[in-house]
Amino acid sequence: MSVAIMLTMLLAVQKENMTKSDIFIIAVIQLAEACFHYREVVAEGLPVVAVKYEHLQGDKSRFFKILFSHVGLELTSEKIRLIDQALAEDSQKGSIIDQDSLMDKRISINKDMIANANKYLTFYELPNWGNSLNLPNTISGKTHTE
């Protein structure tokens, strides 16, 4: 069982005892685990890619042109209309992680939390907090890296 799954189960069982710092570290570990397993899949040669959310938010049109081109699909005006429609509303609306709910749960991240996060990020061979994360086979709004 992965660390992320165990931590998620722990969170469900002891949610009332969790501090914001604990929740932050669990999120960091879940991200690190996802990156770790993604790299494993890439190393096995499976045809998967990563995308940078920042580039999606930056230039949606260019981002989707690159993404569709990568998978060999034509980006028609109808597909652009459907993408715009899909992105117009929070895809998580009504769930515990919708944008409105998350706005209420924002926390201030202090130096101790970052230092703790960096221990886990280093363990998973990821860059320290605040540094750019580049995974293999990333499709972004700028380039496609191998």
Q: What pLDDT score does 38 carry? A: 96
C-alpha span between 121 and 33 (Å, rounded):
10
Ramachandran bin of 48, using left for φ above 0, alpha for ψ from -120 to 50, beta for the remaining angles: beta
| pLDDT for position 96 | 65
d(C-alpha 139, C-alpha 52), whole Å: 7
pLDDT higher than 80, residue 98: no
Q: How high is the pLDDT of residue 93? A: 79
Q: Is the dihedral of CA 17, 23, 24, 29 positive or negative?
A: positive
Determine the Cα–Cα distance for residues 104 and 12; give it in Å rounded to an integer: 19
Dihedral sign for Cα 72, 51, 120, 3, please: negative
pLDDT digits (tens, 9 = 90+) for 36-63: 999 999 999 998 999 887 887 788 888 8
Query: For residues 96 and 43, what is the distance between their CA atoms, to the nearest angstrom?
Result: 34
